[in-house]
Amino acid sequence: MHKQVSGLDATPTIGRAPETHTRVIAVSSGKGGVGKTNVVASWAVALGRMGRRVLVLDADLGLGNLDVLLGLVPCRTIEHALSGVCTLKEICLQGPAGIQVLPASSGVPHLTSLTDSQQVVIQEQLEELATGMDVLLIDTGAGISPNVTFFASSAHEIVIVVTPEPTSLTDAYALIKVLTQRYRERRFKVLVNLAKGPREAAEVFRKLDAAVDRFLHAIVEPIGYVPQDDYVPLAVMRQKAVADLFPDAPASQAFARLARQVLQWPLPTLPKSSVQLLWQKMIRLA
Ligand SMILES: Nc1ncnc2c1ncn2[C@@H]1O[C@H](COP(=O)(O)OP(=O)(O)O)[C@@H](O)[C@H]1O
Ligand SMILES: [Mg+2]
C-alpha cells in the first residue's frame, strides 16, 4: 500500500527541471476491458521511473478502479471534490515511482455525466494541479458518453486503445467518429494492446486506419503496441502496475518504450484552458 497523504505534499521527483507545458494525454477506447487502466498505470510508472513528474487522473468517474489497480486506499475521491467537501489537491495520492494519482469513485451513477459546472470545477482545479508536471495522463473510461468525450477533447493528445478483437475496432471507430464530427478533433494516436506481436498489431492498426481514412476527416497515427503478457494479470492480482512489479516483463518494456516516445512528441504551445474549452463548446453547439 502507498501513502494516503496528499501526494502533492510529497517531494517531487528531483534531478531535472519540469517541462514548460504539461502534456495532457487522454487514454480512451470505444470498448471497455481493452486495457486502458493498465496502460495508464504502467505508462505513468514508466515515466515516473525516468524521473518525470506525472499526474494521473482516473476520469472513469462512476466506475473508477485505478486506485485498486495500484493498491491505493483513498479516503476521498473526485466525488468529494465535486461536492465541495475538499479540493482535488486534497484527494491526490502518491503512487509508485513518485506518480501522483487522483482517484475516482466506483458505483456512483450520477457522476457518469458531469454537469457543465462540474466540468469547469475539474478543469480549473486540474489546470492548477498539473502546473509543473511533465505529463497529465487521463484514464477516460470507455464509450461515447459525455464524460469520455469531454475529457478526451480537453487533452492535447488522444490515445485510442484497441485490441485485435473486431468489436474493439468498431467501437474505436465509433468513438473517433463522435470526436471528429461533434468535437472537431482531427488527430488521434492509436495504441494496440493485447497483440500477439508486431505483425498482428500492424494489421489491427491498418484496419482502423483504412476505415477512418475512408469515412472520416481524421488522421490516426500508430504509437506502438503492448503485447499480450501473462505478467499483466499477475500484477493486477497483486494490485500493482506491471511496470512496477515486473519491470522486465514484455509489457513493461513496451511501456518503457512508450514513455521514451511521449517525451519526443512536440510540446503543446498552449495549455487548453477552461476558458478555451468553454469557447470551443460554444462553437460546437452553434
Ligand atoms: N497487455 C496485456 N496482457 C494481458 N492482459 C492484459 C493486458 N492488458 C490488459 N490486460 C487484462 O485485461 C483486463 C482489462 O484491463 P483494464 O485495464 O481494466 O481495461 P479497461 O480499463 O480498458 O477496462 C485486465 O484483467 C488485465 O489484466
Ligand atoms: Mg478501466
Ligand 2 midpoint to CA 142 (Å): 8
Ligand 2 midpoint to CA 37 (Å): 4
Whether the CB of 51 sits within 6 Å of ligand 1: no
Instruction: Judge whether residue 241 has pLDDT over 70.
Output: yes
Average pLDDT over residues 167-184: 97
Instruction: Judge whether residue 261 has pLDDT over 70.
Output: yes
Give all domains of the chain, ordered by start, each with its CATH number: 24-285 (3.40.50.300)
State pTM to two decimals: 0.90
Average pLDDT over residues 105-128: 88
SS3 state of residue 79: helix
Q: What pLDDT was estimated at residue 10?
A: 38
For residue 226, which atom of ligand 1 is closest to its CA? Answer: 1
Q: What pLDDT was estimated at residue 195?
A: 98
Mutate which of 236, 246, 255 for ligand 1 pocket (most atoms within 8 A of beta carbon): 236
Share of the chain above pLDDT 90, in %: 79
For 186-199, the pLDDT digits (tens) are 999 999 999 999 99
Cα dist from 212 to 201, 248, 249, 277, 278, whole Å:
17, 35, 33, 25, 27
Which residues keep their CB under 5 angstroms from ion ligand 2?
Answer: 36-37
Mutate which of 38, 57, 257 for ligand 1 pocket (most atoms within 8 A of beta carbon): 38
Q: What pLDDT was estimated at residue 13?
A: 32
For 206-216, the pLDDT digits (tens) are 999 999 999 99
| All residues at 6 or more sequence positions from 241 whose CB lies less than 8 Å from its CB, including other chains | 38, 41, 42, 44, 45, 69, 70, 96, 235
For 61-88, the pLDDT digits (tens) are 988 999 999 999 999 999 999 999 999 9
Strand order through the sheet with 187-195: 93-94, 100-102, 54-58, 135-142, 23-29, 157-162, 187-195, 219-227
